[in-house]
A and B are shown apart, each in its own frame.
Chain A
Amino acid sequence: MADGAVYIVDWETSDLIPAHRDKNHHELVYPVVSRLLERAGVRQSEVDLLVDSGSDFLDGRGLSTMTIVDALGGHLREECKVEDDGMWSLIYARMRVLAGTANLALVVSYGKSSESDPHWQSESVLDPYVGRPIGLDRLSASALQASAYIAASGVSDDAAATIAACRHQSAARSLRTPRAVSITEDEIKRQEPLIGPLRPAYMPAVGDGACALLLAEATTARRLTDRPVRIAGASSATDTFSIGDRDLLRLASLRVSADACAARAGWSATDADVLELSGATPFEEMLICQALGLAESSHADEYLAADSARRVNQSGGLLGADPVLVTGLIRTVEAAERIRKGAQRALAHSASGLAMQANAIMALEPGW
């Protein structure tokens, strides 16, 4: 530990598409990990630690890591699985590098939503006694939250359409999301909402994907790259479970984690050049922006609609591609890429649970 900081050395992703039909889980993840290690010039045996994100429910397995841990790079390595979005795995791997027992850590996340049923995936998050019989899922919870937001703050559908069109256009240009297609505001407005107020183009592009990332302490990072990205701060928080017990418009868990992250990094969202946010709909993006202090609650729609410099979600965000369990790690990779291209402060965000019950956030800076 030369300076007590942790650096992202390099990363690799699969194509983020609706379905990798020609690949099983191993075939999706193994090439991603291999390409990353090869490009970084690292042998698997030189990796001190693997922290991985996989989901039993998504994979249809009792213990999803059991037969895939070798493809993830974990054979005879220190390893641990965090069963949530990859950003939580990254947060845990960072702790172990900070503690000094791992100099080089691999973080891998994968998911094949195409082999599962997204409704069942998120409905089964509800408790079996009270919540599940209602039949709420991720999208209907998000739609309720959006309706409450519109009622309370008057954010507009016009702005949502502008934001959504921008995201789809960005994704259509991105090499990482080769199946994404452009759609205009007018086309969006002609769509009937599937779950009011959410039109199809406002929905996350749930699909398949894998992402791997190498973390290192300073000396190791210097040896492996001349373009490291420094993790200046990271935090997460989870709000209470029941949607009825939460202030859905405040996103208290995001506020708490953003404050903790800013305290460590020395800067906050308002200082960031780049923000990659895990909003599953334009309304979620607005709620995240107001919780991060980027705009007043009732003006977050205008703030995002007017974001012509594409400070937020230049990648296309979750509307471009939402590989469940990988999405937050993809946000980190997109933010890190922008740092390599000259940005000075980038913020990556992940959300988990219904109506963004849990949030994680990470502040990135150029390595040196």
Chain B
Amino acid sequence: MTKPVAIIGVGQTKYTSRRTDVTSAALVREAVQGALDSAGVRREELDAIVLGSAPMGFEGTNLIEKWLVDAAGAKLKPYFRIHTGGSVGGSTGIGGYYHVASGEYDLVLAVAFEKLSEGEPQYWLSVTYDPFWGRDLAAGAPGLVGMQAHQYMARYPDVKPEHFAKIAVRHRRHALRNPHAHLHLDLNEADVLNAPMVTSPLRLYDCCPTSDGACAILFASERKARELSARPAWITGAATVAEAAFHPSQDIAHSEAAVQAARKAYARAGITDPVRDLDVVELYDAFTPHFLIWSECLGLTEAGGGADFVDRGIGELDSILPINPSGGVLSSNPIGATALIRQAEAALQVMGRAGERQVPGVTRSMAHGWGGWLQFHTVMVLSAEREGLSA
């Protein structure tokens, strides 16, 4: 059966446009050392390591984990790399979780990174498409999400650009309390609504930045967690669900993979009413419309409830369910690490170690990841208690 697993350490670099002072290896090393130091663990004590990065074209090195093995603390240890596009940080953290949940390992490090300043991310996102019939249409990530947002707005006419602007302002305001965040922007809604158009309906501040950065999480068995941490974050549910990129019943404004990932992770964690049961959520808000769409898919609001969800201020730090107190993806986006950062931030909230961005009294949190053509979703539920809620 599933062995109990807890997060006992987190390491993050500062997220920024360009880290010209380090190689990818040195960047990874910073996050790894941070996670080890935060838990008082030495590299030699690690049993296994999982590394995650998004398309290798971003850094231009094939099998890049082979180069990064020493930086990851993985020399002569079980070690492999996961790659599920933008969701890879989520898949990597869940990979670390499963190493321990299998009962085979006690202390496992998951590390994910990206050095987007060294590549052409939108080019590489465009060549994810089929070379014969997909690439003529490819327009990086904003092209896809613009289409998704229009579909959503057409279906629910009460959704307006003003709703997106509120999220753009709010999550940047949250980021002001997060020293790791890439963007520290003090915006108002007019700034967002008057910013240059990137891809309709997405304006500049509706979009995430491209960042350099790395994040690492240390996973422990129950024995190790009790030995090394006074308040670990237990993982009570996790899921990684995929959907075909193109299929006849596809609905780009409502991802079935996200729905099922949430359903599976909540069922494992005993979550029946996520808004009531969760105290904080870290959502993969790469673009502002995602706040509405993913909230709906993840069961935080009903179908079509996105506009009302924003209007009622849910997600504000003093609301019933604070969302992205870290500032989210809209404030930092080293793509390979981005979904692992969601898990790291969700863990820090449960551990009471989120510093100035700490939400008071967090017992349970959830972290989400998105990747591929709206098709790969990861969900992890964390708790101060070892056991999930009993349904």
- A residues apposed to B, CB below 8 Å: 1, 4, 50, 55-57, 60-63, 65-67, 69-70, 74-84, 88, 91-92, 94-96, 98-101, 121-122, 124-129, 235-241, 252-253, 256-257, 260, 352-354, 357-358
A61-B128, A98-B104 given as contacts; is B375 within 8 A of A236 (CB)?
A: no
Let me know if B243 and A75 touch, CB within 8 A.
yes
B67 at the interface (CB under 8 A from A): yes
Let me know if A235 and B241 touch, CB within 8 A.
no
User: Nearest B residue to A55 by beta-carbon distance?
Assistant: B62
Which residues of A have CB within 8 Å of B391? none
In the complex, 24 of the A-B residue pairs with CB atoms within 8 angstroms, ordered by the A residue number, are: A4-B103, A62-B124, A62-B125, A63-B371, A66-B85, A66-B372, A69-B242, A69-B244, A69-B375, A75-B243, A79-B84, A80-B94, A80-B240, A83-B63, A83-B82, A84-B81, A98-B102, A98-B103, A126-B67, A129-B23, A235-B78, A238-B65, A239-B69, A241-B69
In angstroms, Cα B323 to Cα A78, docked, is 25
A145 CB to closest chain B CB (Å) equals 15
A114 CB to closest chain B CB (Å) equals 15
Let me know if B77 and A65 touch, CB within 8 A.
no
B361 CB to closest chain A CB (Å) equals 30
Let me know if A239 and B85 touch, CB within 8 A.
no
Let me know if B104 and A240 touch, CB within 8 A.
no
A278 CB to closest chain B CB (Å) equals 15
Let me know if A92 and B63 touch, CB within 8 A.
no
Let me know if B127 and A238 touch, CB within 8 A.
no
User: Nearest A residue to B47 by beta-carbon distance?
Assistant: A260
User: Nearest A residue to B124 by beta-carbon distance?
Assistant: A62
User: Nearest A residue to B260 by beta-carbon distance?
Assistant: A76
Which residues of B (324-352) have their CB < 8 Å from a CB of A?
A: none
Let me know if A240 and B256 touch, CB within 8 A.
no
Let me know if A125 and B63 touch, CB within 8 A.
yes
In angstroms, Cα B78 to Cα A260, docked, is 10
Would you give the 0/1 interface string for B158-179, flagging 1 where the beta carbon is closer than 8 Å to chain A?
Answer: 0000000000000000000000
Let me know if A238 and B79 touch, CB within 8 A.
yes
B129 at the interface (CB under 8 A from A): yes
B374 CB to closest chain A CB (Å) equals 10
B355 at the interface (CB under 8 A from A): no
Let me know if A81 and B57 touch, CB within 8 A.
no
Which residues of B (244-265) have their CB < 8 Å from a CB of A?
A: 244-247, 256-257, 260, 264
Which residues of B (1-53) have their CB < 8 Å from a CB of A?
A: 1-3, 23, 25
Let me know if B69 and A240 touch, CB within 8 A.
yes
Contact of B79 among A75, A126, A358 (CB under 8 A): A358
Which residues of B have CB within 8 Å of A70? 244-245, 247
Let me know if B75 and A78 touch, CB within 8 A.
no
Q: Which of A66, A78, A82, A358 has the most CB of B within 10 A?
A: A66
Which residues of A have CB within 8 Å of B257? 76
A67-B130, A78-B264, A99-B3 given as contacts; is B242 within 8 A of A352 (CB)?
A: no
Which residues of A have CB within 8 Å of B127? 60-62
In angstroms, Cα B372 to Cα A94, docked, is 25
Contact of B83 among A60, A78, A83 (CB under 8 A): A83
Contact of A101 among B2, B74, B126, B244 (CB under 8 A): B2
Let me know if A236 and B264 touch, CB within 8 A.
no
Q: Which of A69, A80, A257, A358 has the most CB of B within 10 A?
A: A80
Contact of B101 among A62, A91, A99 (CB under 8 A): A99
Let me know if A358 and B66 touch, CB within 8 A.
yes
B265 CB to closest chain A CB (Å) equals 10
A354 CB to closest chain B CB (Å) equals 8
Let me know if B104 and A65 touch, CB within 8 A.
no
B230 at the interface (CB under 8 A from A): no
Let me know if A236 and B78 touch, CB within 8 A.
yes
User: Nearest B residue to A54 by beta-carbon distance?
Assistant: B83
A237-B78, A239-B76 given as contacts; is B57 within 8 A of A62 (CB)?
A: yes
Please name the 8 residue pairs, one residue from A and one from B, whose CB atoms are nearest each other, closest first: A70-B244, A79-B242, A62-B128, A99-B101, A95-B102, A98-B102, A124-B62, A62-B124
Which residues of B have CB within 8 Å of A83? 56, 63, 81-83
B104 CB to closest chain A CB (Å) equals 6
A27 CB to closest chain B CB (Å) equals 13
User: Nearest B residue to A57 by beta-carbon distance?
Assistant: B62
Would you give the 0/1 interface string for B67-111, flagging 1 where the beta carbon is closer than 8 Å to chain A?
Answer: 111100011111111111100000100110011011110000000
Which residues of B (117-138) have their CB < 8 Å from a CB of A?
A: 124-131, 134
Additional A-B contact list (16), CB under 8 Å, known A241-B67, A353-B66: A63-B371, A80-B95, A81-B91, A82-B81, A83-B81, A83-B83, A84-B63, A92-B95, A95-B101, A121-B62, A127-B25, A237-B78, A239-B69, A241-B69, A241-B70, A253-B76
Which residues of B have CB within 8 Å of A63? 54-55, 83-85, 128, 371-372
User: Nearest B residue to A98 by beta-carbon distance?
Assistant: B102
Let me know if A57 and B240 touch, CB within 8 A.
no
In angstroms, Cα B375 to Cα A70, docked, is 11
Which residues of A have CB within 8 Å of B241? 76-79
A50 CB to closest chain B CB (Å) equals 7
In angstroms, Cα B316 to Cα A261, docked, is 50
Let me know if A82 and B62 touch, CB within 8 A.
no
Which residues of B have CB within 8 Å of A253? 76
In angstroms, Cα B63 to Cα A98, docked, is 27
User: Nearest B residue to A72 by beta-carbon distance?
Assistant: B242
Which residues of A have CB within 8 Å of B103? 4, 98-99
In angstroms, Cα B98 to Cα A1, docked, is 16
In angstroms, Cα B77 to Cα A98, docked, is 20
A125-B61, A238-B76, A241-B67 given as contacts; is B82 within 8 A of A95 (CB)?
A: no
User: Nearest A residue to B268 by beta-carbon distance?
Assistant: A101
Let me know if A82 and B85 touch, CB within 8 A.
no
In angstroms, Cα B66 to Cα A55, docked, is 14
B24 CB to closest chain A CB (Å) equals 9
Contact of A81 among B67, B82, B239, B268 (CB under 8 A): B82
In angstroms, Cα B95 to Cα A96, docked, is 9
Let me know if B244 and A241 touch, CB within 8 A.
no
Let me know if A99 and B98 touch, CB within 8 A.
yes
Let me know if A238 and B83 touch, CB within 8 A.
no
B360 at the interface (CB under 8 A from A): no
Let me know if B2 and A100 touch, CB within 8 A.
yes
B373 at the interface (CB under 8 A from A): yes
Which residues of A have CB within 8 Å of B57? 56, 62
B60 at the interface (CB under 8 A from A): yes
A67-B245, A80-B84, A124-B61 given as contacts; is B66 within 8 A of A241 (CB)?
A: yes
Contact of A125 among B23, B66, B82 (CB under 8 A): B66
A244 CB to closest chain B CB (Å) equals 13
Q: Which of A55, A96, A125 has the most CB of B within 10 A?
A: A96
